[in-house]
A and B are shown apart, each in its own frame.
Chain A
Amino acid sequence: MPESAFHQDNRRSTPLKRAPLISARNVAKRYGAVRALVDGNLEIHPGEVVALLGANGSGKSTLGKVITGMTRPDGGQLQFDGTTAPVTSPEHARRLGVSAVYQELSLVPDLTVAENVFLGNEPTRLGGLDRRLMQHRTAELLESFAGVFTVPVTPGTVVGNLPPSERQLVEVVKALSRQPRALILDEATASLDGRQVDRLFELMAGWRDQGLGLVFVSHRMDEIFRVADRAVVLRDGATVGQLQLRGGDDRRTAERKLVELMTGGGEAGALLLDEARPRAAVNRDAREPALRLRGFASGILAPLDLEVGAGELLGLGGLQGQGQSRLLLALFGAAPHRGSVELDGRRVRVASPRQAVRAGIAYVPGDRNRDGLLAVRPILENLQLPNWERYGTPLRVGAARKDAQMVASDLNVRLAGLDANVSTLSGGNAQKIVIGKWLLRRPRLLLLDDPTKGIDVEAKEEFYRLLARLQADGTTVLFTSSDDAELLGLCERVVVLHDGRVTAELTGPTLDKGSLVAASLGAR
């Protein structure tokens, strides 16, 4: 526990005489089996900008959601202006003076900017909407961003026609319209361009000087150092420390301290992987790489060149949403893309998942409930979903069952029977089913999007062993993970993405936590 950072901060911070605007103490929240927050603590005073930092799964977003009323906590205490107040809904939070800016969560595409800004809060005159006031106020609010809009934005513009960056700005304006005393911005800069970020920071400095309390949840080190006065770090669901940024250490030292706080310095996760270490020797001799991408771009992902050898397990690192998932999705034909894809030296077209499957590519999605499982169908149907055409007409169900049973046993899935509903399985076992459906096809390329998220330790171990076996068989694996230790322990090579670009390729001596976290944040 790097207590030095904490105490150092206490000695150097300006004594704040006013009571905190918001005080969150020992906040806990679990989603089913996953404990998103264990001991979240945060204090926000008027007239300051606090950055909330943490790696994936640290709980920073959850803490933000609790404060703004999006979720109810399971434990802990919330105080506003010194009075204890359990927040029941976002509307309640707004009435308490806390506004949140999320990523386009609350905009209706068919309505105009003014209508969206005042949605749920419309001023009325003589029983009808006071549109003039709405227009006027919205125009005033939009003025703050005058000059940085990439397309014309007026109170009458239909939100659905705006690009994501402008929609994000409308969300900011909407939060402002409530004249909040505290503003929480969760990854609000993700879709903004440089000039818009500049303007936003200017405004935030202004708001801070007017006495607002601001929380800035972000993963971008640069921005944090530009705009925040103080940084609070979360790790594994708990607040582990804070650091005074303005008037504190120099940039490099501060960054190092923050990274230390975020990573915890421990190697607990790696112990798990020692057993699973039997990695196949990666074949990177003169033969064709199993996978070659040239100029491969899709969505947030900038054109990328990549070569992966047969049997190699390549990790895609970085914080969530930097393009890793998009890469996998596009490679599977499920998202539009450009650039060339070669498997074993031959160019393949992956314009649709069906084509990808035929080319021997398999994909395990990040959200298994939404994209990977057929919730109310039996396990058998889930396992054989891509494979039914192999069993003829009428279906040789006996053969299908046998094969499915084989896969299930192979993966050590604990199930009551193949006909049991797949929703009866635990997270780990359900994930095995999602992977299992591809195993019968012996794919050449396996794309895994955060496959061990929300899975218990035992299942993870089994999964690592499976990966090792697949690698030994020559299957090439592309793998993203929200668990940095896992990534580092399993892969011999990790490509780190930040805002859609590769910021580092870590192997051998650079394959360590510090480098990974630093590269993930775009730090120097």
Chain B
Amino acid sequence: MSARSNLERVLLEGRFAVTAEIGPPKSASAESVRKHAREMRGSADAFNLTDNQTAMSRMSSIACAAVLIQEGLEPVVQMTCRDRNRIAMQSDILGASALGVRNVLCISGDHQTFGNMKEAKNVYDVDSVQELMILRKMRDEGKLWSGDGLEVAPELFLGAAANPFADPFEYRVTRLAKKVRAGADFVQTQSIYDMDRFERWMALVRAKGLHERVHIIAGVMPLRSPKVALYMKNKVAGMIVPDAIIERLRSAKDPKEEGIQLCVEQIQHLRGIEGVRGVHIMAMAWEEKVPEIVRRAGLRR
């Protein structure tokens, strides 16, 4: 099978993939996206654009993706189920595809009560598993969910999120299997701080042979201060940050440097875990550090 995107090609060739994240701006100007593109060019195989993260309106993922393509980078469009129904989803995918987007990450999305427009109606017409089914049908059968044929089918490399740190732990692998069955080609995990738990999850994943059916890309997020670490621990749903890490940052002379060093160590450790095919670096509001992290972790770029 020929690769549908650069990211897929890297994975199929057995190279350790690197993806990074760019946060869309609260602006009608894409200047910050171009700036990040210039800063991060060459440091990753593809770049995720978040979709109204924490339910706050930002420039759309697809619009930012189009800008990235203009800048010569490969995007991963994130599409949540919170804000659009199946009609809009399929329409957006056709448009994104026409603009050159190939990688799509299907996720449920933070509930809108997380954001600053809590009064909005939520959509959730379909969930992330169903979103995968819909997109796969468009790609493999050239059909919309209604059964209507598409003149040209989109070329898509489909992704999903996996969270080894959410509960209930025992069923996380069953859910991953479900996503694979529904059409996930790759998964990106939630940021890893509790390495033990991640390793336990990977063991269960391998036991089911899932690591050979889906490309698992492990998520990391560099922490710039103990305050940020505490915020992640207490305020972000589905995240586990061990106290040892918070302590390490607290007692460091230069917490920022410590945070980068910690991230680099995590990446090096993750490379050695069987079944982990790449790393996803989420340096939100710290995008400029990605090239340094990639270099220090010895990731071939």
| A and B are partners in one complex rather than unrelated chains | no
